[in-house]
Amino acid sequence: MISNTLSKHTITALVQDKPGVLNRISSMFRRRGFNISSLAVGQSESETLSRMTFVVDGDDKVVEQVTKHLHKLIDVIKVTDISEENVISRELALIKVKAGAEHRDQVMQISSMFRANIIDVSKDFLLVEATGDENKINSLINLLRDIGISEVMRTGSVAMNRASNKGSKKIKQSIVSTRKWDEAASV
């Protein structure tokens, strides 16, 4: 979809941990032409539910449609657009840097500035492990690129809203209280 205010939005979804759920979700994104820039999935606080974090490209209208269509899937229990809120987002990156002895210090220096760890060293390579928000990982990768990167593996962001971390007691309630579509739709 064309839009003039393209930006990245972070959406989280609480979904049933059942076979095929990821397929339902990715199929919906593909079919409706929505762009996912990253996706991370893992178990939630409940054994039967997973939580997904999507980073989606698009304007407000696109994001409104994405959240509504996600919510329309029977296996999706709760959808939250947390882009606007006080969100903490982190991803993990493993970066293999091509660096012989002459560049090791430089890599270590850069890594320590980013609070990243060197987790493996060989004659020609260093393996850097970093966590942080997307921008931080991007900056780190940019700096390391000048030295020489041979492989990058990123998990995609997982995100959580500071205020929403209320512990498991509230979960039942949040499952029942889905969002107020009427208001959401009038953006």
Regarding 2 and contact with another protein (CB under 8 A), the answer is no
CA separation for the pair 89, 79 (Å, rounded): 17
Candidates 74-82, 115-123, 130-138, 139-147: pick the segment binding another protein (CB under 8 A). Answer: 74-82
Q: Convert 26-48 to b/e letters by CB count within 10 Å (16 or more is b).
A: eebbeeeebebebbbbeebeeee
Closest CA to 153 of 122, 128, 132, 120: 128
Q: Is 131 helix (H, G, I), strand (E, B) or coil?
A: strand
CB of 117 to another protein, least distance (A): 39
CA separation for the pair 187, 66 (Å, rounded): 14
CB of 107 to another protein, least distance (A): 45
Regarding 76 and contact with another protein (CB under 8 A), the answer is yes
Between 32 and 71, how does the x/- string for binding to another protein read (CB under 8 A)? -----------------------------x--xx--xx-x
Regarding 163 and contact with another protein (CB under 8 A), the answer is no
| Torsion angles phi and psi, residue 114, rounded to 5 | -95, 10
Positions in the binding site for another protein (CB under 8 A): 15-16, 19-20, 23-24, 27-28, 31, 61, 64-65, 68-69, 71-78, 175-176, 178, 180-187
